[in-house]
Amino acid sequence: MKYLVVLLLSSIAITGYAAEYEGFAEPEREIKVAAPELGILQKISVKEGNRVKKGQLLASLETQVLDAALSVAKAKMNAQGRLKSAQSIEKLRKDKLNRLLPLLSQGNAQQYEVTQAQIELEAAAAEVIAARDTLNISSLEYKQIQAQIAHRQIYSPISGVVTDVIKEVGEIVGGNDFHVMTIAVLDQLVVAIRVPTAQALSLKTDQSVSVTFPGVELAPLQAKIATISPITDASSDTVKVEINLTNNKSKLRSGLKCLVKVGE
């Protein structure tokens, strides 16, 4: 969600349609980073003022129970005993059948003996399949628990700056109390001003405007109009105009007071 600064109209006429508007610079984007689920905050990996990249680990929820379950699932996944035993029995049953078949053709074995050996081999083969299925299920359980642990890690949804850390290690987060920290994009600031309809009709997107910063030693900047609302607010007879302000090297602080000159 884009957070914009509503610059208060100062109604200071300059020349023609030109006017100055007083207001405050705000981040182009600000995100309240949420805990993905209910849990106890185990670790916070960043602090206020840190720059973070999209996908960077910010914090972790407690995973002790899941860690224990993961160890059990790993042991089950790596347990080869049942499979090896089933494979050995299958081999014995196959050898027995292979010995009986020539004897049957020579009249030295009974058909029921061969049939029984075939049934025993089929049962042994089924046990091998069941053992493999069990290992596959254990592998899936292991991956599922891994995913649950990963889901309890909080990653940055955007690249930006940590502007506020709300929670501390040991606190319960999630549910209705989801807000862990705030990250803002400060490389691009956004300004929204409300211009009288008559003046707004003369403005165009990408039109340059002058921005100055009273009270601080910063050179005036040229910014551009990003969007002009197609709707007039009936109560004030004004139109919302959005302005992008590039914040090279983050020289401008969010919340800085500024004067924007719009028009000829």
| Mean pLDDT (the chain, rounded) | 87
Joined together, the tokens standing for residue 153 give: 């890690």
pLDDT at 241 over 90: no
Between strands 51-52 and 39-44, the pairing is unpaired
pTM: 0.69
Note the pLDDT of residue 3.
39
pLDDT at 4 over 80: no
- Taking the C-alpha atoms of residue 162 and residue 155, their distance in angstroms, rounded to an integer, is 12
Instruction: Please check whether the domain covering 5-62+159-262 is classified as CATH 3.30.460.10.
Output: no
Looking at residue 95, its amino acid is D
Q: What is the pLDDT of residues 88-138, one digit of tens each?
A: 999 999 999 999 999 888 888 899 999 999 999 999 999 999 999 999 999
pLDDT at 13 over 70: no
Joined together, the tokens standing for residue 117 give: 């050996």
pLDDT at 152 over 70: yes
Note the pLDDT of residue 211.
87
Q: Who's near 88: CB < 8 A, 6+ residues apart?
A: none
Domain boundaries of the chain, sorted by first residue: 5-62+159-262, 64-151
